[in-house]
Chain A
Amino acid sequence: MKTLKISLILLAFFSLLNNSVFSQQLTGLKIIENVYNRAVGDDMTADLTMTLTNSSNENRVREIKQFSKDFGDLEKKIMFFVSPADVKNTSFMSWSYDEAGKDDDQWIYLPALKKTKRISSDSKSDYFMGSDFTYDDLGDRQPDQDVHKLLREEKLNGEDCYVVESIPKDKDYMYSKTITWIIKDKWIGLKKEFYDEDEELLKILKVNKYEDINGFWIITNTEMKNEQKDHKTIMILKNVKINTGINDDKFTERIMTRGI
């Protein structure tokens, strides 16, 4: 159960790395804002598989079924853990607010204890389910939390990219800086480097696959590798469905406890 102190905004993560915008003289801030503000569907359903691989090449697999819906100034998400066996039927729900400074509301349902517990969303530097993604890596880190600088433009994997350096305004933040390669015409973050507090390279995020689903660019295969620990996590998104009209009642304690 220790893996389940969650502040996950997975779907927003994919939107963070996807965007389209029409602009000419782009600053680093503008590029990141465009990525952040890119519209995605009103709701989304998907199956997520995370494969964690350690330095001995041993794999651990976590499977999740997730739903999200935009309610205007509020986004609600609910996730059901399918595997491993000891967390099966555990569910997690978060309500994220557009209002600046307003923390997410988050709950976790623990089936063995038959309890829905409210949890704090403050620990955004915690790692999600033992993976190499922190909650902040997966979530909506707002552009104004960092100072952005367009370093250069270059090709990566055959794609024309902007390369943007982002330095957090909070000097105590877990990363001293990040560098992101963003595809120009699709506004997808293709690669991202994370540097630790000593400005040493800590992690590298790579997008292995992205797809056009219902007119939205969706990243469906991502790899995060911790270079210092030689540990990596591959996230694969399957059965992605957008704008299916998920019922508002999906995001309630009733459904958390009942299951998928």
Chain B
Amino acid sequence: MKNKIIAILLCLTQITFAQNVDFTGYVRNYSGMLAGNGSNDFVILQNTFNLNIEKNMSGSSFKVNPIIYHNDSDSISFNLREAYLDLYFDSFDIRVGKQQIVWGKADGVFITDILSPKDLYEFLLPEFDEIRIGVTGAKLNYYMGGNTLELVWLPVFTPTNLPNSTSIWSPSMSFAMTPTFDYSKQDVKPSLENSELFLKYSALTEAIDFEIMGGYMWDDDPTVFSSIVTNSSGRNLFITPEHKRISLIGGSFSTTLGPFVFRGEGAYYFGKYFNTSDLTVNNGTVEKDYIHYMLGTDFNLLDINFSLQFIQKAVMDYEETIQSNVMFKDQYNNMMTFLARYSILNETLEFELFSYYDFEYDDALIRPRVLYDYSDTINLQIGANIFTGTEGQFGQYNNNDMLYGKIKYSF
């Protein structure tokens, strides 16, 4: 199968070369080693080939973006990150196919940016463009000067991709007794009734850029329904993951004031399922609305570019029976991000520090890295991922502190 895929890719390449199709992409070597917790295992030994095949014609264009990952176990995974066709008209454009759709003004936080689900095979560590999974559907953009109305229809539901249970990035889950999992309800079949719909109105003006959006979708993360069944073997805990419908309205803005860029983004989610400690009611779940928003600023000080974001999630009509998880500890959940970036040597050498900090769990992910442009095509990178705390979405990976290096050849 792997050989067939590569053969098809090579044939495609030969055909498209003959038709002035544009090829760009990169080849990357990525190695990561656990550090500081008694283990120096190489947990990442990965080679990546990413190819963008694009052609722009009058009134139309297409893009196909295959990506091949080769891992240390000599396994190869092939994926089409995007494969779509664009049709351009006077006042509107249509994009059909598998595509990544990015909304909102927040960086590294997903509030209204929920159309393309996340690939968490390596938690939040990949570059953000690699975290998003392409979704299959159609997008219509209608333009009125600097204003845009965007309608997205996704007939195929794509959930969050979670790491497998043996991965060091498998999220921690605790149960009162050893559970039995029932995955029979987890799939959402592609059908008209199961479609997702999103609408956005956006404007780019002198004073401010803003977006107003709404969506009727499936929760990308499955709700975990629990039930206790008593039979001859005793009491058994059954866990049934199931994706539930959720809808939201939201918006975002970005504006400048002197040297500062101010950004904000927020959404009101209707009907999110939370797990409770009372398994006798609705299989241990309760449906609540919640608010998720971000306020942030970007600025330059002493030639260093800074970016700060404060993020809050608040559960409406909160009940004490709601169980905490890594994303929701209690009614209010506060987090911040910090980014500092400094470059020298005519911007060939760059130092960066990016961090998430969760106020509720007092845990953090700290990511220093150094990037060097060895040439116009070769970029070298070394960095570290440092997890602090003992619980929460970052603290749960406290044993996964890591040093890594990347070599990337862009073409």
Contacts and interface: CB of A to CB of B under 8 A. Distances in A.
A171 interface: no
A120 interface: yes
Contacts of A54: 346
A253 B148 contact: yes
A137 B302 CA distance: 20
B379 interface: yes
Interface string B109-151: 0000000000000000001110000000000010101101000
A234 interface: no
Nearest to A89: B24
B72 to A, nearest CB: 26
Contacts of B100: 114
Contact of A129 (B105, B305, B347, B375): B347
A152 interface: no
Given A2-B341, A129-B347, A259-B56, A118 B254 contact: yes
B102 A115 contact: yes
Given A83-B376, A252-B145, A253-B146, A122 B343 contact: no
Contacts of A249: 143, 145
B254 A52 contact: no
Contact of B24 (A85, A103, A118): A85
Interface in A93-147: 95, 103, 105, 107, 112-123, 126-127, 129-132
B340 to A, nearest CB: 12
Contacts of A259: 56
Contacts of A113: 102, 128-129
Contacts of B300: 120, 122-123, 126
Q: How large is the interface on A (under 10, 10 to 19, 20 to 34, 35 or more residues)?
A: 35 or more
Given A112-B127, A130-B346, A61 B376 contact: yes
B350 interface: yes
A118 B350 contact: no
Contacts of B259: 120, 122-123
Interface string A1-16: 0110100000000000
A105 B347 contact: no
B119 to A, nearest CB: 15
Contact of B256 (A60, A112, A118, A231): A118
Contacts of B206: 95, 105
A84 B409 CA distance: 11
A129 B379 CA distance: 16
B38 interface: no
Interface string B340-377: 01010011101000000000000000000000010111
A118 B254 CA distance: 7
B209 interface: yes
A5 B86 CA distance: 29
Contacts of B303: 126
Contacts of B56: 259-260
B129 A120 contact: no
Given A2-B341, A253-B204, A258 B88 contact: yes
A260 B57 CA distance: 11
A41 B141 CA distance: 33
B128 A2 contact: no
Contact of A231 (B129, B341, B346, B408): B346
Contacts of B61: 258
A86 B300 CA distance: 24
A8 B346 CA distance: 17
A60 B376 contact: yes
Contacts of A123: 259, 300
Contacts of A88: 24
Nearest to A251: B146
A131 B346 CA distance: 6
A85 B411 contact: yes
B377 A254 contact: no
A155 B363 CA distance: 68
10 contacts: A61-B376, A85-B26, A85-B376, A105-B256, A112-B127, A116-B204, A120-B300, A130-B346, A252-B145, A260-B56
- Listed from nearest, the 7 A-B pairs whose CB atoms lie closest are A130-B347, A122-B259, A84-B376, A85-B410, A130-B346, A114-B102, A86-B410
Interface of A: 2-3, 5, 52, 54, 60-61, 83-86, 88-89, 95, 103, 105, 107, 112-123, 126-127, 129-132, 231, 249, 252-254, 258-260
Given A85-B377, A260-B56, 17 more contacts: A2-B347, A60-B376, A83-B376, A84-B377, A85-B376, A86-B26, A107-B209, A112-B127, A115-B102, A118-B254, A118-B256, A120-B259, A120-B261, A121-B256, A130-B346, A253-B148, A254-B93
Interface of B: 24, 26, 56, 61, 86, 88, 93, 100-102, 105, 127-129, 141, 143, 145-146, 148, 202, 204, 206, 209, 254-256, 258-261, 298-300, 303, 305, 341, 343, 346-348, 350, 373, 375-377, 379, 408, 410-411
